[in-house]
Amino acid sequence: MGVEESATLVDRAVTSEEFWVSTVVDIVVSLAVGVAAAAIVGAAIAGLAAIGFTAVTTLPLWATVGATAVAGIALGLGVDALGIPEGMKDWANGLFS
């Protein structure tokens, strides 16, 4: 029986470099998408207020959070469709081989 066949889940996954690269890339991409979504919504609110549409500044918190969630989902789907996370994982895994 080979090492891969007899290894426990911890040996195959948690201690592997590929697992940690994947985890760190997922965290970084998620953080970047969330910050970008918040920035887009903030800039949209500021821009609308600057051109005189001041009603947008009195939006309830749930509307702002909802708009940020929608922007985050859209950005996340776009980033994933472009293959950015997989490219980052391949690049980072190449550093360890």
DSSP conformation letters of 18-85:
HHHHHHHHHHHHHHHHHHHHHHHHHHHHHHHHHTT-GGGGG--HHHHHHHHHHHHHHHHHHHHHTTHH
Task: Give the start-to-end residue ranges of the domains of the chain.
Answer: 18-95
User: What does each of the 97 residues of the chain score in pLDDT, given as a tens digit?
Assistant: 445 555 677 777 777 788 889 999 999 999 999 999 999 999 999 999 999 998 888 989 999 999 999 999 999 999 999 999 999 999 998 887 7
Which pTM does this prediction carry?
0.80
The pLDDT value recorded for residue 1 is: 42
Instruction: Tokens for 26, please give them.
Output: 């997922």
